[in-house]
């Protein structure tokens, strides 16, 4: 019996319009990490807290290849792709998360040593 895996390529945006592209095996966990500044580096520095786009893959190799492809695009192409799913650039994760659960999830995310 084969197991189905899910991997996601996603775009997070800051309030000033900075874009961050990443790949993960748990989109909800990763969004919590971004929103709570638990990921050191670019995303934390530029406050990329709004999920504006994502794609789902069953094969991590395809997800990584797509992430690399998107990271090589110019800003206009990234914006056009985002508009196909999210014309108003709303936070797609807004309805997913129970805000009361975020501190607990943030702690779990902070202690999670898995990659991705």
In a domain, 76, yes or no: yes
Return the CATH number at 19: 3.40.1440.10
pLDDT tens-digit readout, 5-61: 899 999 999 999 999 999 999 999 999 899 888 888 998 899 999 999 999 999 999
Distance in angstroms between the alpha carbons of the first and the last residue of the chain = 24
In a domain, 1, yes or no: no
In a domain, 99, yes or no: yes
In a domain, 116, yes or no: no
**How far is Cα 88 from Cα 52, in angstroms, rounded to an integer?**
9
pLDDT tens-digit readout, 66-98: 999 999 999 999 999 999 999 999 999 987 755
Q: What is the pTM of this model?
A: 0.81
Degrees to nearest 5, angle at CA 109 with 106 and 114 = 175
In a domain, 80, yes or no: yes
In a domain, 49, yes or no: yes
In a domain, 66, yes or no: yes
Structural domain tally of the chain?
1
Q: Which two tokens stand for residue 21?
A: 């592209």
In a domain, 2, yes or no: no
Domain range for 69: 7-111
């Amino acid at each position: 019996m084969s197991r189905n895996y899910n991997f996601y390529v996603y775009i997070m945006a800051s309030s000033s319009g900075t874009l961050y592209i990443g790949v993960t095996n748990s989109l909800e966990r990763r969004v919590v990490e971004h929103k709570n500044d638990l990921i050191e580096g670019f995303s934390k520095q530029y406050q990329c807290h709004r999920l504006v786009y994502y794609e789902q893959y069953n094969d991590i190799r395809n997800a990584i290849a797509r992430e690399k492809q998107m990271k090589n695009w110019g800003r206009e192409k990234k914006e056009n792709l985002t508009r196909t799913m999210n014309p108003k650039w709303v936070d797609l994760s807004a309805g997913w998360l129970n805000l009361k659960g975020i501190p607990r999830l943030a702690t779990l995310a902070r202690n999670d040593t898995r990659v991705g």
